Amino acid sequence: MSMTFSGQVALVTGGAAGIGRATALAFAAEGLKVVVSDVDAAGGEGTVELIRAAGGEARFVRCDVTRDAEVKALMEAVIAAYGRLDYAFNNAGIEIEKGKLAEGSEAEFDAIMGVNVKGVWLCMKHQIPLLLAQGGGAIVNTASVAGLGAAPKMSIYAASKHAVIGLTKSAAVEYAKKKIRVNAVCPAVIDTDMFRRAYEADPKKAEFVATMHPVGRIGKVEEIATAVLYLCCDNAAFTTGHALAVDGGATAI
Ligand SMILES: NC(=O)c1ccc[n+]([C@@H]2O[C@H](COP(=O)([O-])OP(=O)(O)OC[C@H]3O[C@@H](n4cnc5c(N)ncnc54)[C@H](O)[C@@H]3O)[C@@H](O)[C@H]2O)c1
Band (pLDDT 50/70/90 cuts) for residue 203 is confident
Q: Does 144 or 96 have the greater pLDDT score?
A: 144
Q: Tell me the pLDDT of the chain averaged across its residues.
A: 97
Q: Provide, rounded to the nearest whole percent, the portion of the chain with pLDDT above 90.
A: 92
The mean pLDDT value for 32-45 works out to: 98
- Whether 231 contacts 185, CB under 8 Å: yes
The mean pLDDT value for 167-179 works out to: 99
Pocket test of ligand 1: the residue of 48, 63, 91, 157 to mutate, having most ligand atoms within 8 Å of its CB, is 91
Q: Ligand 1 atom closest to Cα of 145?
A: 6
Q: Name every protein residue with a CB atom under 6 angstroms from any ligand 1 atom.
A: 13-14, 16-20, 38-40, 43, 64-66, 91-95, 115, 119, 142, 144, 187, 189-190, 192-195
In this predicted structure, the answer to whether residue 198 has a pLDDT above a threshold of 80 is no
The residue type at 224: I
Q: How many CB atoms lie within 10 A of CB 202?
A: 11
> pLDDT for 213-229, tens place per residue?
999 999 999 999 999 99
CA 10: distance to chain centroid? Answer: 12
Comparing 106-115, 194-203, 225-234, the range with the smallest average pLDDT is 194-203
Q: Which domains does the chain have, with CATH numbers?
A: 9-188+221-243 (3.40.50.720)
Three-state DSSP at 244 gives strand
In this predicted structure, the answer to whether residue 194 has a pLDDT above a threshold of 80 is no
Q: Provide, rounded to the nearest whole percent, the portion of the chain with pLDDT above 70.
A: 100
- Taking CA atoms, 26 is separated from 1, 68, 219, in Å, by 17, 28, 16
DSSP symbol at 166: H
The CA angle 200-159-22, to the nearest 5 degrees, is 50
In this predicted structure, the answer to whether residue 120 has a pLDDT above a threshold of 90 is yes
Q: What is the residue-wise DSSP string for 21-70?
A: HHHHHHHHHTT-EEEEEES-HHHHHHHHHHHHHTT--EEEEE--TT-HHH
Comparing 51-65, 70-84, 145-159, 191-205, the range with the smallest average pLDDT is 191-205
Q: How far is the CA of 177 from the centre of ligand 1 (A)?
A: 31
Residues constituting the chain = 253
Q: Which of 157, 175, 199, 230 is catalytic?
A: 157
Q: How far is the CA of 9 from the centre of ligand 1 (A)?
A: 21
Amino acid 98: pLDDT: 87
The mean pLDDT value for 192-204 works out to: 83
Amino acid 199: pLDDT: 82
Band (pLDDT 50/70/90 cuts) for residue 151 is very high
Kindly report the pTM of this predicted structure. 0.98
82 is catalytic: no
The mean pLDDT value for 191-196 works out to: 86
- Whether 81 contacts 59, CB under 8 Å: yes
Amino acid 197: pLDDT: 80
Residues contacting 251, CB < 8 A, separation 6+: 145, 148, 149, 186, 188, 245
Distance (Å, whole) CA 204 – CA 220: 20
Distance (Å, whole) CA 208 – CA 91: 26
Q: Ligand 1 atom closest to Cα of 143?
A: 7
Distance (Å, whole) CA 167 – CA 165: 5
- Whether 195 contacts 202, CB under 8 Å: no
Distance (Å, whole) CA 37 – CA 167: 21
Pocket test of ligand 1: the residue of 66, 194, 221 to mutate, having most ligand atoms within 8 Å of its CB, is 194
Band (pLDDT 50/70/90 cuts) for residue 196 is confident
